[in-house]
Amino acid sequence: MTTWPYMVDREIRAVIFDIDGTLVDSLDAYYEVFNRGVAHLNAGPLAKDALRDYLAKGLGLREIIEKVSPLPIDDATYKMCREEIHRLFRQVELEGVKLFPGTEELFRHLAGKGIKIGVATGRTSAPEEEQARFARLGLDPYISAIVTSRDIQHRKPAPDVIIECARRLDVPLKACVVVGDTEPDVAAARQAGAVSVAVTTGHDDEKVLLKARPDMLFRTIRDLMVFMESPPMEGASDAF
């Protein structure tokens, strides 16, 4: 049985991570390619703070495009924008998207303790595409399941992507910790019945995340690592 400090009465068998803003710092790259990908719509460039806000709210790519386009978006136009944005992102991510410090160390630590690692993301890419990205980042040997919004019916803050990831990991939801950087991440984890952990490295700041009432909040992935290595406390509760 694996326990964490402050959670001595809960067995932890898996940790499920969001991607953007949680494991990788991708906002600058996504901001660049999004505006290039919708430039032909004659839409003014979307401000980075506005894009951050839309992503934090869990809006899908089509919803964001519809907000910046002066004209209605039909299926053909959306498909063209999506393919262009994805093409551009693949070009810039090698240099523009990096892991947050401490991520690989955390994954190695979890794997060493026999804790399964899953990924549950709002991205609409295919899981095998994300697997290839994690291979580039050197994390794929640690990951047992990847679920994207393509695999489920309802996006975060609905719990679907968390529930499906736990199912593929073959781990009960109550034995899962879910780590994310937005209010929808916290809401999805709570609705699923998992332990919710928020980090302030992404789209939502600490004040917004605290309002969502995560079980735990950390400023960085590295802080989560330090917490895990602390000795358990007798009689401690699940949350603080």
The whole-angstrom separation of Cα 183 and Cα 209 is: 6
pLDDT digits (tens, 9 = 90+) for 39-60: 888 877 899 889 888 887 878 8
Domain boundary among 96, 111, 131: 96
Entry pTM? 0.83
Are 89 and 128 members of one domain? no
Tokens of 26: 């991708």
Are 34 and 52 members of one domain? yes
Are 117 and 191 members of one domain? yes
In a domain, 233, yes or no: no
Are 83 and 106 members of one domain? no
pLDDT of 57: 80
Q: What angle do CA 2, 100, 192 make, to 5 degrees?
A: 45
- Residues of the chain with pLDDT below 70 are 1-10, 230-240
Domain boundary among 96, 118, 144: 96
What contacts 227, CB < 8 A, 6 or more positions away?
Answer: 4, 5, 216, 218
